[in-house]
Structures are given as structure tokens and as C-alpha cells.
């Protein structure tokens, strides 16, 4: 499958060899985070209801998860539902909240076959019970899988995440379990929802929007950003490879100067 992916690259005949070298030595990003924008616009362009765009967007999640898994990417974090999304019409929110279940019902056998682990970041308690149950079941069923971590940001907001981390740390300082001196970047990392994950190497945002919208503010400090006008339902293998190649080119260019 990797070969199939790589033979599509621009470099022609030698692409496989060249790219395999790249992939081994110059590294495919370990953790890719995606803001999946443009589902509503995709539907509007076709005179379809917004929920049709969300449904199509869910199919794209499947396709991209398969490709990420085939490429040996370790973590794919997908911004599925932000704390801002509650402001949308109730009918749309209800539909969005049914998607995890729909996705998991049909995709679970393949997740298990592939050894994909489902994880989430965000405030699970704020989700409807049926959504929470579906997520909990999926995380439980896949917890021993050792392949791709498919990490959904659900009811997630980065500032709220940081506020919670600060409060949790303050409690520990107050009760004497931590001293002020022990509070540093590494400690703060451990109190974030992403404490068990590496930082994203690459952030992708679709649909022409060029902002972070309260997504992983702390974690994206050193991440490469890649933006595209393509709407999320139209995002495909080719676009995904383009983003990864752009990341690899930047890494090659700045490889010797990392951190500067």
C-alpha cells in the first residue's frame, strides 16, 4: 500500500526509492493534526443540506485514517467538534453528535483489523450520553491496539484545556504535592489532555481559513502549518501527500537549523 501511495509522487521512476529513503530517514510526520473545515460549504455548492456535507466529511475521515495508517503515521488528531460548535442550530448539533456512533458502527471491524486505537481529547462530560457511550466503547475495545492512534478532538477548546491544567496544578501546589519550582513546561505538558501524545509535527487546515480557532495552542508551538483551499470532503490521498511532501521539504531545508 505504501508503494501504491508513493508511486503517485511527482518524481516519476525513482520516486519509490527516493521516497522510501525519505520516509525512512527524513521521516513522515509522527503526529498530524487536522482542522477539517468546509463541509457546510461543500454541501451548499451542491444545493444540499449542511448535514450532507458532514456525512461526506465523515467518509473523508475514514479514507484519510486508512492512508495515515498505511503510511505508518503514529497519531492523527482530528478536530471533530469544538466548544464553539454548540452555537449551531440544534438540528445540526444533533446530527454531528450522531456521527461518532455512525462512524464507529461501520468502521469498527476495520479499526480492529488494522490495529487502530481510538482516543479523544476534550470535555467528554459535556457530550450527549449516547455519544459518550459510543466513544467510551470504542476507546475500550481498541485500547490494546498498537497501530495508528486516531485521536478525535470532541467538545474541545484549547484555552479551556489550559485553564483546567492551571487549576489542577494550583491544587497540587496548594496541598503541598508540588512546589512552585517544579512548575515548568514539562510539568504543564503532563497536565494537558495530550500528555500521552507527542506534539504535532504538521497541522493541516482545509477550506481556506488561516487561523487556529482555539485548537491545541500550547501543543502547536513548533508545528509546521499547511493550509489549503480544498474543502474537507474533497480532501484526498493526493492532497494529503502534497501536505506531507511540503512538510518534508521544509524539514530538509531547515533540517540543520532545527529550533532556530
List of residues contacting ligand V07 (CB under 6 A): 36, 39, 54, 57-58, 61, 80-81, 96, 99-100, 103-104, 118, 135, 138, 152, 154, 232
Closest CA to 152 of 199, 189, 193: 193
Residue of 19, 24, 69, 85 with catalytic role:
85
Shortest distance, position 222 Cβ to ligand V07, whole Å: 26
Would the annotation count 83 as a binding residue?
yes
The residue whose grid cell reads 446530527 is: 95
Would the annotation count 41 as a binding residue?
yes
Shortest distance, position 85 Cβ to ligand V07, whole Å: 8
Nearer residue to ligand V07 within complex by CB, 39 or 228? 39
Q: How far apart are CA 165 and CA 170, in angstroms?
A: 9
Closest CA to 78 of 229, 203, 191: 203
Shortest distance, position 116 Cβ to ligand V07, whole Å: 11
Please indicate whether residue 105 is annotated as part of the active site.
Answer: no
Work out the burial of residue 30: count CB atoms within 10 Å of its CB; fewer than 13 is exposed, 13-18 middle, 19 or more buried: middle
**Residues ≥6 apart with Cβ < 8 Å to 127:** 97, 135, 154, 155
Would the annotation count 207 as a binding residue?
no
Q: How far apart are CA 162 and CA 221, in angstroms?
A: 14
Please indicate whether residue 85 is annotated as part of the active site.
Answer: yes
Nearer residue to ligand V07 within complex by CB, 138 or 203? 138
Would the annotation count 232 as a binding residue?
no
Supply φ then ψ for residue 33, to 5 degrees. -110, 140
Nearer residue to ligand V07 within complex by CB, 6 or 117? 117
Residue of 19, 37, 151, 201 with catalytic role:
37
Shortest distance, position 243 Cβ to ligand V07, whole Å: 17
Would the annotation count 260 as a binding residue?
no
Nearer residue to ligand V07 within complex by CB, 23 or 212? 212
With beta carbons less than 8 A apart as the criterion, state whether 79 and 254 touch: no
With beta carbons less than 8 A apart as the criterion, state whether 206 and 232 touch: yes
Work out the burial of residue 28: count CB atoms within 10 Å of its CB; fewer than 13 is exposed, 13-18 middle, 19 or more buried: buried
Nearer residue to ligand V07 within complex by CB, 6 or 99? 99
Extract the annotated binding site: 37-42, 50, 54, 82-84, 86, 88, 205, 211-213, 224
Extract the annotated binding site for substrate: 38-42, 50, 54, 82-84, 86, 88, 205, 211-213
Extract the annotated binding site for Mg(2+): 37, 224
Among all residues, which ones are annotated catalytic? 37, 85
Amino acid at each position: 500500500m505504501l508503494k501504491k501511495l508513493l508511486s503517485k509522487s511527482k518524481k516519476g521512476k525513482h520516486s519509490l526509492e527516493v521516497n522510501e529513503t525519505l520516509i525512512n530517514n527524513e521521516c513522515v510526520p509522527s503526529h498530524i493534526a487536522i482542522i477539517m473545515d468546509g463541509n457546510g460549504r461543500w454541501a451548499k455548492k451542491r444545493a444540499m443540506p449542511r448535514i450532507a456535507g458532514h456525512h461526506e466529511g465523515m467518509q473523508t475521515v475514514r479514507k484519510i485514517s486508512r492512508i495515515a495508517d498505511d503510511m505508518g503515521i503514529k497519531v492523527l488528531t482530528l478536530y471533530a467538534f469544538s466548544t464553539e460548535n454548540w452555537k449551531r442550530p440544534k438540528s445540526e448539533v444533533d446530527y454531528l453528535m450522531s456521527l461518532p456512533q455512525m462512524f464507529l458502527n461501520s468502521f469498527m471491524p476495520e479499526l480492529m483489523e488494522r490495529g487502530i486505537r481510538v482516543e479523544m481529547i476534550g470535555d467528554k462530560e459535556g457530550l450527549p450520553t449516547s455519544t459518550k457511550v459510543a466513544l467510551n466503547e470504542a476507546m475500550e475495545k481498541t485500547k490494546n491496539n498498537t497501530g495508528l492512534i486516531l485521536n478525535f478532538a470532541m467538545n474541545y477548546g484549547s484555552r479551556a484545556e489550559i485553564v483546567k491544567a492551571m487549576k489542577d496544578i494550583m491544587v497540587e501546589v496548594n496541598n503541598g504535592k508540588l512546589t512552585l519550582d517544579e512548575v515548568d513546561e514539562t510539568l504543564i505538558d503532563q497536565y494537558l489532555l495530550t500528555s500521552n501524545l507527542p506534539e504535532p509535527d504538521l497541522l493541516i487546515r482545509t477550506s481556506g481559513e488561516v487561523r487556529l480557532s482555539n485548537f491545541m495552542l500550547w501543543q502547536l508551538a513548533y508545528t509546521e502549518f499547511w493550509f489549503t483551499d480544498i474543502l474537507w470532503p474533497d480532501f484526498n490521498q493526493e492532497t494529503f501527500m502534497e501536505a506531507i511532501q511540503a512538510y518534508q521539504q521544509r524539514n530538509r531545508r531547515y533540517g540543520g537549523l532545527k529550533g532556530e
